[in-house]
Amino acid sequence: MGAMTSRRLRMCAALLLPGLCAWICTPGPAAFAAELRVVGWIERVRLGIEGLPVAAKLDTGADSSSLHATAIRWFVRDDGDWVAFDVAGEGGQKASFERKVVRIARIRRTTGEVQKRPTILLGVCLGSVYRLTEVNLSDRSGFDYEVLVGRRFLAGHFVVDPGRRHTVEPDCRETRAQ
């Protein structure tokens, strides 16, 4: 082997080996999935410290979460804009919530129309995971599920299996005050 070919092989090895080692040593998707809870595309969740049980669609195509809220009332406190609203849960249960508005979401509908929705922080319990997440309030009366849980809540905690439903029950014993 010539000096030039030998030098090229050493250069290739020097360039490729670190990347190859990183690729071999990095856990693949199966390793990450082992750490994540597999859930179905339809699950029961509990909302807020109020713990209202609600049927939810888990949607990895949606960035944020959305909640069907009625009687939305805006008001102002010293720290900014707030909303009070009502939510109907399973079995006719109802709960009233008051939350600070963290931003106004601009949601593009499939028709191309842009809707402006108040967005709040709300605790959501799915399985044994309770997390505060941004939820926009909207009229979801035309949909089958009161809650749409998006990627921001699911990422890093859950894998959604579209062939499964009702795989976990909400069981969050420790909730944080909101």
CB within 8 A of 50, min separation 6: which ones?
95, 97
Spell out the per-residue pLDDT of the chain, length 178, in tens.
566 555 655 555 554 444 444 444 444 444 444 588 999 999 999 998 878 999 999 999 999 999 999 999 999 999 999 999 999 988 888 999 999 999 998 887 778 888 899 999 999 999 999 999 999 998 888 788 999 999 999 999 999 999 999 999 999 875 544 4
Q: What phi, psi does 93 have (nearest 5°)?
A: -65, 145
| pTM for the model | 0.75
> What's the residue count for the chain?
178
Euclidean distance between CA atoms 111 and 88, whole angstroms: 27
Report in angstroms the alpha-carbon separations of 2 from 11, 12, 13, 14, 112.
Answer: 14, 15, 17, 18, 64
Domain layout of the chain by residue ranges: 1-27, 36-68+102-165
DSSP state of 153: H
Burial class (CB in 10 A: 0-12, 13-18, 19+), 133: middle
Q: Are 103 and 80 in contact (CB under 8 A)?
A: no
36-68+102-165: CATH topology is Cathepsin D, subunit A; domain 1 (2.40.70)
